[in-house]
Chain A
């Protein structure tokens, strides 16, 4: 029997609590009841598993135990008659802690829950916080730390969001097909945001695998949505390079400077296989195209041997779907690799991105390559002043790759 220590229970909590919370919300129609019961069930697990060993299906055990706890609590409080009758009906069903009776519909429960958490009637901040808390199993403290807000602030944000869900009756269901495009967008955006929070903050690296786990769940639950697959591929391909984009001192390495032998081949292959399936399907979207761009990078043995024309072509497509200055900036960088820095700079200078650090960093790099050094220095300074993280700031203060 494997050793069950606190850390192991913690890992199982991260893996399983979202599933259990989602199942209990369906049953009891109340987020707080579900959350509290699942917490209690894990407290029991923490007491009994290290001595008695893991049950055959830890997730099922948690769900069943939590459900009993919730029933007990509702019985004790005996306040909402409707809930109680539901509880009674449930108590008559399977109630054997060893039974893996939560396999079928539970997956749908998590899907329902993410659509509730990411309902457009909630602010993006609330969407992210709820998703991490309810589906990711992060504690309020962990969610607060991830987004650099004080714990009481985050606790209040969660309470308010949950209250709105209850008071305004934000539904707990998967949207219908005709609603799906609009409703899927915030879901994907939240997962992407969670990943990026981990990527840009080394202290919160745990958010990256968390986001990938959420993306995998979505991809399993919605196999027919090409953008869901695209998001998963994008995250996998980005993740394959994550360890090689930071030096041991925490500073950043540009794509051209990274040790490509350190890229994770398994993640790349998985990501590229998804991209190929997306291409065959030919329903391009913004995540799929970004994934395809990353797949091209992952294919190149060296920076110089990157298929830049292909990357430009993908950016052209992306720009028609998402005509934003940030996409135009990235396209200009690719143009720079095909037609040289002067062509790129002409495009970059047309963009209205004066408050975006990457805009100035790109200009700085292009100016440096054109030998316009004093202008480059000024642009690096402007970029450093705007950089959102210390690693990026230090990197830009040193004048980008020039100084290495």
Chain B
């Protein structure tokens, strides 16, 4: 089994057509069902949704001192918005789950393998 991160990225300033309340509820419900499915099949490891990049803080070493600055680390318009960490047999299985998620949330998903799952 390999662990994969399915990540959803939000693009700053690029407003997606906002969902109506019903659509939002619908998608919330579908995600709940899907997550339940993932948990009962053992695929789900962890998942979470993040606040916007304006809530981010970066800490970095400056000499011997940890320096704290406001703002996201990556200077780009795209920011990680949320993610699932799943465990799957192979990429096809991971892609199948990612397809389900993207269909529900109507946003693209990046699928990336974890480096530290040496056949375990």
Contacts and interface: CB of A to CB of B under 8 A. Distances in A.
Interface of A is mostly: loop
A121 interface: yes
Contact of B113 (A82, A169, A179): A169
A170 B115 contact: no
B113 A167 contact: yes
Nearest to A171: B90
A301 interface: no
A168 interface: yes
Contacts of A82: 119
B115 A169 contact: no
A119 B92 CA distance: 9
Contacts of A171: 89-92
A interface residue count range (under 10 / 10 to 19 / 20 to 34 / 35 or more): 10 to 19
Contacts of B113: 167-169
Nearest to B117: A169
Contact of A121 (B2, B91, B119): B91
Nearest to B114: A167
B95 interface: yes
A121 B95 contact: yes
A167 B111 CA distance: 12
Nearest to A166: B113
Nearest to B92: A171
A282 B95 CA distance: 33
B2 A169 contact: yes
Interface string B73-84: 000000000000
Interface string A138-174: 0000000000000000000000000000011111000
Given A168-B112, A175-B92, 4 more contacts: A121-B95, A167-B115, A168-B2, A169-B91
Considering the complex of A and B, which 5 residue pairs feature the smallest CB-CB distances, nearest first? A171-B90, A169-B90, A168-B113, A169-B2, A168-B91
